[in-house]
Amino acid sequence: MRILSFDIKRYLEKKEVIHKFLNENYLKTEYELASLKNIVSGGIYYLEKEYIEHQIKIKNSLIITNAVEHTFSTDQTNVFLIVENPQIVFYQLCQMTMPPKKKGVHPTAVIDVEAIIGENCYIGPYAVIGKCTIEQDCYIDTHVIIGDNVIIKNNTKIEPNSYIGANGVAWIWDENGERVIQPQFGGVLIEENCFIGSDVSIVKGSVNENTTIKKGTLIAHGSKIGHGSILEENCHLANNVTLAGNSRVGARSFLGAASVLSSHVHIAEDCIVGAGAVVAKSFFEPFAVLAGVPAKTIKYLSKKEKLNGVPKRN
């Protein structure tokens, strides 16, 4: 995606971003948003000050950075945009290039007559919508199933082939050795500004429980959320995470790929669970880093400490 220099300057003014250009006389009319994994001439990149040495690989481009001036190379035609948080600026510039969200209901979608759908929503091809409430500005992609007794709040996106409000499996043997299954007729509540990736299953709560995904939570592809589980605000689940029934994840916690929480396990706010860890007991102290099988506390984070693969805390 490409972006005009004029639009970059307009963004900086509108957001009141404190900034400074160096080598501004080399500023091009437009640039291509680019990754350090695929460097091109005429790109826009962000470099935190600890990685500024990577500038030697970049030519004729715009580098957004928080490095100090004396660390910049003088033998290139790069333009430097100095800001306090280059990653945030880069991400917001990327957002500016996104096409407008689709709106409306695809003709192949199947929607219950009692479903309530808010304004400016998109319901994609072959989606199946039960007796639920979907508030405004939501995006429900192709082949998504939304079951009965589900509430999805404003500005939430659900990607293809996910099932919200699936039936779970809870049962017990009777005295004759017969399996007795408990029907599940609870619900699911997904609060505003959430992202649910593709192939995610969220099981509805047992009896009168709700499985609850609180605002700002991100659930990546392939994850499975058991009945009655609660994800507090702004959690992030990486790919293929599994939460067994009635587990609870504290606010702003990050669960690495393929990690597992056993049933009824609670973890505190601001925790990090390593990839592949199996959390078989509760951990109630915040800022813990949990890893291993079974998971153990391997350290405690300072508030702004950065771990590889985990979004930086501000």
- Identify whether residues 119 and 229 lie together within a single domain: yes
Mean pLDDT value across residues 9-24: 93
Q: Which stretches of 143-233 are assigned E, i.e. beta strand?
A: 145-146, 150-152, 157-158, 163-166, 171-173, 179-181, 187-190, 195-196, 201-203, 210-213, 218-219, 224-225, 230-231
Question: Tokens 């003709």 sit at which residue?
Answer: 107
Strand partners, 211: 188
58 in any annotated domain: yes
Q: Which residues pair with 174 in a beta bridge?
A: none
Please check whether residues 90 and 185 belong to one and the same domain: no
Of 270, 162, 149, 282, residue with least CA distance to 225: 162
CA–CA distance, 311 with 255 (Å, rounded to integer): 11
Q: What pTM does this model have?
A: 0.89
Position 101 scores a pLDDT of 85
In total, how many domains does the chain have?
2
Domain boundary among 43, 71, 96: 96
Q: Residue 311's pLDDT is what?
A: 67
Question: What mean pLDDT is predicted for residues 211-235?
Answer: 97
* Beta bridge partner(s), residue 190: 152, 213
At residue 230, the 3 state secondary structure works out as strand
252 shares its domain with 129: yes
| Segment holding 108, helix H or strand E | none
CATH number of the domain within which 267 lies: 2.160.10.10
Domain assignment of residue 206, given as a range: 104-300
Residue 91 and residue 108 in one domain: no
CATH of the domain at 63: 3.40.1390.10
Assess whether 28 and 162 both reside in one domain. Answer: no
Torsion sign over Cα 279, 280, 285, 291: negative
Does residue 294 share a domain with residue 254?
A: yes
Same domain as 160, residue 231: yes
Using CB atoms within 10 Å of the CB of residue 146, give its burial: 0 to 12 exposed, 13 to 18 middle, 19+ buried.
buried
* pLDDT of amino acid 50: 86
pLDDT value, residue 46: 94
What does the block give as tokens for 175?
A: 């005295």
pLDDT class for 288, splitting at 50, 70, 90?
very high
* Residue 25 DSSP symbol: G
Q: Based on the fold, state whether residues 130 and 73 are members of the same structural domain.
A: no
Do 43 and 169 fall within a single domain?
no
Buried b (16+ CB within 10 A) or exposed e, 126-145: ebbbbebbbbebbbbbbbbb
Domain boundary pick from 96, 128, 144: 96
Q: Report which of 231, 161, 249 is spatially closest to residue 189, judged by C-alpha positions.
A: 231
Q: Where residue 131 falls among pLDDT bands split at 50, 70, 90? A: very high
Clarify whether residues 87 and 109 are in a common domain: no
Domain end among 34, 65, 96: 96
The whole-number pLDDT of residue 309 equals 61
Q: What pLDDT is recorded for position 199?
A: 98
Residue 201: beta bridge partners? 163, 224
pLDDT of 304 reads 67
Mean pLDDT for the stretch of residues 55-75: 83
Residue range 175-187: mean pLDDT, rounded: 91
User: Is 306 a domain residue?
Assistant: no
For residues 12 and 156, state if they share a domain: no
